[in-house]
Amino acid sequence: MKTTRSYEQTARRAATERTRTAILDAGLDLGREKLTVEIVLGDIAERAGVSVQTVLRHFGSREGLFDALQQHGATRVGEQRRAPVGELETDLRVLVDHYELWGDMSITLLAQERTDERSRAVTTTGRAMHRAWVAELIGPLVAPHGGAAPDEAVDELVVVTDVYAWKLLRRDRGLSRADTEHRMLSLARAVIERHRTTPTPPPEDRTPTPYLPPPPSGGGNLPPALAIAAELERRGDSVRVIGHDDQRAAVEAAGLPFEPYPTGLQWVGSRGSNPVAMFRVFHDAALGTDVVASIAREPVDAVIVDCMLLGVLKGVQQAGVPTVVIAHSFMSFWHRWRRNPLTALFSARLGARADRLWDAAEAVLVTALPELDSASAEPGGATWIGPVVPPESAPSTGDAVLVSLSSVNLPGQRPVLQRAIDAVGALGLPLIVTTGPAIDAEGLRLPAGAEVHRYLPHPEAMRRARLVIGHGGHGTTMTALAHDLPLVMIPLHPMIDQPLVAAAVERAGAGIALKKSASTTTIAAAVRRLLDEPGHAAAAARLGASIRQSDAAAGAADRIAQALAPA
């Protein structure tokens, strides 16, 4: 009976996948015939031979279907344009084959990009993919002895192989497929001949050039990545950073060159915490396309990628560039995260599993304290480098209570912040509050003498504190411990690492974890207990000494150098 049930479940899954693929193929077919705004669910359902309800059961809405269509189309394009590196005739034959199937649809989408946001997203991604394809497959013919083809050569090759070149010859001039291919081949050869160089081979001891796409939130995840980058720069490596627009200021303040993702989904943490929107960013294949295109313009020795950016990891690894993964919290959390239903759903759409992408990296660096992370006792290839905290972290001698919650706008955060402020006020203790970009300080009830800052560097704030009320975020919590400060932790979101971090610190005796619904009285009692029971401060000091001694940024740089060293 078990065998029969297993067979039936497998058959059902296969049938479900066939139906899903048929719907997506029907949508792509209609895209060749109609404008995007003209395509309705009924048309797609009829073409696929299913009901509209079936379409909705698979994709939820028209928006959900078109999101999937965009990814399905990009996957199909990638498969169809697979070609060998440096074999121009074969590369152009594959390209023209692709244009014969998709060229007319591409031209239709380009005609809509000024008025239709969906079409503009597709064409923007398409341009980046085409440029990366040209740079990867044809570019080496311009620089046959290694190195990247100059931008001018890639620009010209992109033009002579663009879908508009195909349209002018095939559709407007009415040439045959063979003649169209021959003319595009002649144009490409002329560009290659004009730009072909014989560069001087690089010296054997050239400086590695890591490339760092940081995590998308721009909150507590970003400082560890930038600290590792700064250590690499200090050692003589050249590092550049690609990220989301709201990360520019922090990256440039760290003295690192920054470039924004040109086509990938943008994320601004202070605007909200919609889980679906977050997971779309984590799994956005266009981010990987952006990174690969940037690498094609300016090659690197390795790409250091946050563990959540699975779209980037997949794209870079498929391009054959070495990767190093930063896991910026407990590995025990990341094991749960990869099994999260949203991760599983979006990973399936991406066509790549988190654990396999991590395993394919040259190194996985876990920025957690091993004694707090249960996963450190498990077999595996990850390296626990310890929490990356500001180098000036030292035992605090202050007397204030610091209240600092998430810089990402999480549900219910403002009421929790207000109750924490009221609790400290009721105890009559000196108070420092940091709101971050997520909370507008206007309207908060504050006790006399309280300081409120939108932003205050953690070292500056924690030097003046004796205790921290936080949300259990790994960055804030580890930085507090690095200053020997015990914590009251109020996790704000069950899907993030906060509950796990808070529970581990509480088990270690260095803090107290409370529910998000904790009252002002409960928070005040927890603060009083931490101040009155010296064991908590002692436990925090023990953990703080371990964090400071780990010198995680240096450990990360050592492991990266080891992972990238020639065999």
19: CATH: 1.10.357.10
Q: Do 231 and 159 reside in the same domain of the chain?
A: no
Number of continuous H segments (helices) and E segments (strands) in the chain: 25, 13
Residue 273 lies in a domain: yes
The residues, any chain, with a CB within 8 Å of residue 181's CB and separated by 6 or more, are 92, 93, 96
The structure tokens listed for 524 are 């005040």
CA dihedral sign, ordered 504, 548, 553, 287: positive
205 inside domain: no
How far is Cα 266 from Cα 278, in angstroms, rounded to an integer? 10
Q: Do 316 and 357 form a contact (C-beta atoms < 8 A)?
A: no
For residue 558 the two structure tokens come to 């050592």
Residue 566 lies in a domain: no
Q: Are strands 487-489 and 511-513 parallel, antiparallel or unpaired?
A: parallel
Report pLDDT digits (tens) over 21-64.
Answer: 899 888 888 877 777 778 889 999 999 999 999 999 998 888 88
pLDDT at 83 over 70: yes
Same domain, 469 and 327: no
Structure tokens at 377: 């006792």
Residues 417 and 478 in one domain: yes
Number of folded domains that form the chain: 4
Share of the chain above pLDDT 70, in %: 91
Residues 528 and 404 in one domain: yes
Tokens, residue 160: 């002579």
Domain assignment of residue 556, yes or no:
no
Q: Domain range for residue 416?
A: 400-550
Mean model confidence pLDDT for the chain: 87
Looking at the structure, do residues 349 and 233 belong to the same domain, yes or no? yes
The pLDDT of residue 206: 37
pTM of the model: 0.63
Residue 561 lies in a domain: no
The first and second tokens of residue 84, run together, are: 């060998």
- Let me know if residue 567 belongs to a domain: no
Per the listing, tokens 């690609």 go with 242
Strand partners, 341: none
Burial class (CB in 10 A: 0-12, 13-18, 19+), 371: middle
pLDDT digits (tens, 9 = 90+) for 265-278: 876 554 455 667 78
Residue 69's SS3 state is helix
- Residue 278 and residue 160 share a domain: no
Local confidence band at 161 (pLDDT 50, 70, 90 cut-offs): very high
Q: Is residue 557 part of a domain?
A: no
Examine the domain organization and report whether 452 and 470 are in the same domain: yes
Q: For residue 522, name the pLDDT band (cuts at 50, 70, 90).
A: very high
Q: What percent of the chain has pLDDT over 90?
A: 52
When mean pLDDT is compared across 111-115, 178-182, 281-285, 318-322, the lowest value belongs to 111-115
**Shared-domain flag, residues 73 and 131:** no
Among 475, 469, 392, smallest CA distance to 223 is for 475
**Do the Cβ atoms of 330 and 501 come closer than 8 Å?**
yes
The token pair at 403 is 């209240």
Given phi > 0 = left and psi -120 to 50 = alpha, else beta, which region is 146? left
Position 456 scores a pLDDT of 85
92 shares its domain with 73? no
How far is residue 233's CA from residue 154's CA, in Å, rounded to a whole number? 29
